[in-house]
Amino acid sequence: MSPLAVHYVPVVTTVLAAIFSAEIFRRYREHPERLHLLWWALGVAVYGVGTFTEAATSIVGWNEPTFRAWYISGALLGGAPLAQGTVVEGCLECPWHGSRFWIDTGRLARGPALYDQPAYELREAEAGGYEVRRIPT
């Protein structure tokens, strides 16, 4: 897949999410006692909203209204892969947009992101397993 083709994956996932959500909802209407189908249809539709705004960045490019719509729905509903980022000079760099966040605090080091990311402290628990605590910003 060429580097440019990968930017159009959200367009395809948006279309597929719309098709699947409509089909699941149709099945729910046939069997209203199967409430889980309604929840699945809503979940897939919400995912589709998130990927739609990601697709918009591929089609119209980045501008302030697109970024705000993406941040509200795409980042929150579609799930940007910050966990797949790389560590650069003490910062975690987003693989999609290049924003950087300080690893130790989650504070924004470089945009285009507008907000800090949460940071967590992890330690082994005496009873086994792990304990996680959010670091206050």
CATH number at residue 118: 2.102.10.10
Q: Specify the number of domains making up the chain.
A: 2
Q: In a 3-state reduction of DSSP, which class is residue 132?
A: strand
Residues 59 and 69 occupy one common structural domain? yes
**What does the block give as tokens for 27?**
């099945």
| Residue 103 sits in the same domain as residue 123 | yes
Examine the domain organization and report whether 48 and 104 are in the same domain: no
The mean per-residue pLDDT over the stretch 65-92 comes to 74
Q: What is the pLDDT of residue 1?
A: 44
Answer yes or no: do 125 and 67 share one domain: no
Q: Which residues of 57-82 are buried (b: 16+ CB within 10 A; e: fewer)?
A: beeeeeeeebbebbbebbbebbebeb
Amino acid making up residue 21:
S
33: containing domain: 1-79
Contacts of 97 (CB under 8 A, 6+ apart): 112, 113
**Pairwise pLDDT comparison (2 vs 125), residue with the higher score:** 125
Q: Which one has a higher pLDDT value, 115 or 28?
A: 28
Q: Are residues 55 and 87 in the same domain?
A: no
pLDDT at residue 79 greater than cutoff 60: no
Residues 74 and 109 in one domain: no
Q: Is the pLDDT reported for residue 131 higher than 90?
A: no
Is residue 86 domain-shared with residue 75, that is, in the same domain?
Answer: no
Assess whether 132 and 72 both reside in one domain. no
More confident residue, 13 or 5: 13
Q: What is the pTM of this model?
A: 0.51
Let me know whether 91 and 24 are in one domain. Answer: no
For the chain, percent of residues with pLDDT exceeding 90:
25
Output the pLDDT for position 17: 93
Looking at the fold, whether 21 and 60 belong to one and the same domain comes out as yes
Of 35, 50, 79, the domain-final residue: 79
